[in-house]
């Protein structure tokens, strides 16, 4: 079931110096000719409310209830101002709602970007004509190799050709299908026998809100992933036990799960992780995971 509204697990009030909120306060102050403006936001969850103020002074004020979307209750105090017209109140409500929605979307975008940076899969977003709109770091690594060397790919009875030429042709094929058959699944073979599972799916946009797109996910097969980790371990001079821990890091296991898998204590796992960070020049598990995923 698709989400109809921007999703943040727990709505939180913007900071007092949030540029969007500050712009809204200036707008309210200008349009209503108030000597001072005070906005109070109350999130729908358990997060605390926040008060924002613009201008100076106290005394008599008009209180307005603004429609700020499903995640917030909002009230606006206008100091020494006349009662604004209904249309102006609607304009202020719409403006505040848009500020909060854009902030919510920005938070989601940042979270999604960080999530895509940690996955070992290569994720690309194409337009319907086969041009790349977005590539996560793992996919960008493939793009760099495509530029530096002619990275060839073949799959599903297609002859070897530059990888992104092959992907673009599959994207165009998927984009031309109707909604009932807008997914392509297969495998792509790269040089040295590397095999990657590939899924290409259409991403229709809401009506009148931008172009359709096509999402491509390239996932190393288990054997290919194991080979890459083995080569990585050899380059960094890892011990056999450190290689075992490295494989478990590549699988995304927690420290406790690694300890259960290897039959050793979590404390010993943490010691091995410290050795891995030192030998690979990384500062933590996420950075090590990213290094493994980008290893060739």
What is residue 181's DSSP assignment? Answer: G
224 and 194 Cβ atoms separated by less than 8 Å: yes
**What does the block give as tokens for 255?**
């420290």
**CATH architecture entry for 224-294:** Orthogonal Bundle (1.10)
The owner of tokens 């096509």 is 214
Residue 237 CA to residue 2 CA, distance in Å, equals: 47
The predicted structure's pLDDT at residue 108: 85
Residue 24: per-residue pLDDT: 96
In the DSSP assignment, the letter for residue 154 is B
Q: What pLDDT sits at residue 154?
A: 60
HEC profile of 13-27: CCCCCCHHHHHHHHH
**Tokens encoding 289:** 């995971």
State how far the Cα of 120 lies from the Cα of 252, in Å rounded to an integer.
Answer: 10
Angle at 161 between CA 156 and CA 167, to 5 degrees: 65
DSSP assignments along 116-152, one per residue: HHH-SSEEEEEETTS-EEEE-HHHHHHHHHHHHS--E
Q: Where are the beta strands (DSSP E) in the chain?
A: 36-43, 50-55, 61-67, 72-79, 122-127, 132-135, 152-153, 161-162, 183-189, 195-203, 213-220
* CATH dotted code for 120-220: 3.30.450.20
- The owner of tokens 């209180």 is 63
d(CA 119, CA 281): 19
Gap between the Cα atoms of 236 and 109, Å rounded:
35
pLDDT at site 5: 47
What's the whole-model pTM score? 0.59
pLDDT in tens, the chain (296 residues): 344 444 556 788 999 999 999 999 999 999 999 999 999 999 987 889 999 999 887 888 999 999 988 889 999 999 999 999 999 999 999 999 999 999 988 888 888 888 787 777 889 999 877 888 888 888 887 777 776 555 666 655 566 778 888 888 888 888 887 655 678 888 787 765 567 788 898 887 765 555 678 999 988 775 556 666 777 888 888 888 888 888 888 777 788 888 988 899 999 999 999 999 999 898 888 788 777 766 54
CA distance linking residue 166 with residue 159, whole number of Å? 9
Cα 200 from Cα 186, distance rounded (Å): 9
d(CA 83, CA 194): 70
Residue boundaries of the structural domains of the chain: 19-116, 120-220, 224-294
Interatomic CA distance for residues 136 and 142, integer angstroms: 10
Buried b (16+ CB within 10 A) or exposed e, 185-216: eeebbbeeebebbbebebeeeeeeeeeebbbb
Q: What is the structure's pLDDT at 6?
A: 47
């Amino acid at each position: 079931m698709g989400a109809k509204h921007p999703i943040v697990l727990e709505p939180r009030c913007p900071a007092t110096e949030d540029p969007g909120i500050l712009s809204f306060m200036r707008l309210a102050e200008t349009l209503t000719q108030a000597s001072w403006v005070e906005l109070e936001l109350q999130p729908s969850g358990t997060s605390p409310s926040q008060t924002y103020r613009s201008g100076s002074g106290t005394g008599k004020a008009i209180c307005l209830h603004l429609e700020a979307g499903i995640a917030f209750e909002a009230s606006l105090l206008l100091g020494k101002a006349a009662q604004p017209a209904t249309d102006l109140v609607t304009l202020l409500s719409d403006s505040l709602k848009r500020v909060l929605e854009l902030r919510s979307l920005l938070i989601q975008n940042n979270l999604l970007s960080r999530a895509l940076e940690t996955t070992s899969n290569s994720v690309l977003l194409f337009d319907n004509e086969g041009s790349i709109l977005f590539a996560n770091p793992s996919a960008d690594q493939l793009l760099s190799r495509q530029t530096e060397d002619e990275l060839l790919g073949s799959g599903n009875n297609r002859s070897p050709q530059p990888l992104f030429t092959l992907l673009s042709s599959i994207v165009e094929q998927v984009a031309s299908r109707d909604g009932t058959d807008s997914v392509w699944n297969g495998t792509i073979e790269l040089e040295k026998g590397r095999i990657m599972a590939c899924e290409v799916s259409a991403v229709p946009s809401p009506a009148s809100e931008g172009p359709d797109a096509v999402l491509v996910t390239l996932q190393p097969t288990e054997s290919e992933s194991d080979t890459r980790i083995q080569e990585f371990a050899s380059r960094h001079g890892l011990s056999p036990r450190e290689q075992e821990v490295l494989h478990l890091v590549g699988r995304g296991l927690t420290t406790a799960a690694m300890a259960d898998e290897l039959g050793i204590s979590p404390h010993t796992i943490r010691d091995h992780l410290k050795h891995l960070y030192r030998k690979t020049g990384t500062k933590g598990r996420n950075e090590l995971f990213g290094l493994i995923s980008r290893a060739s």
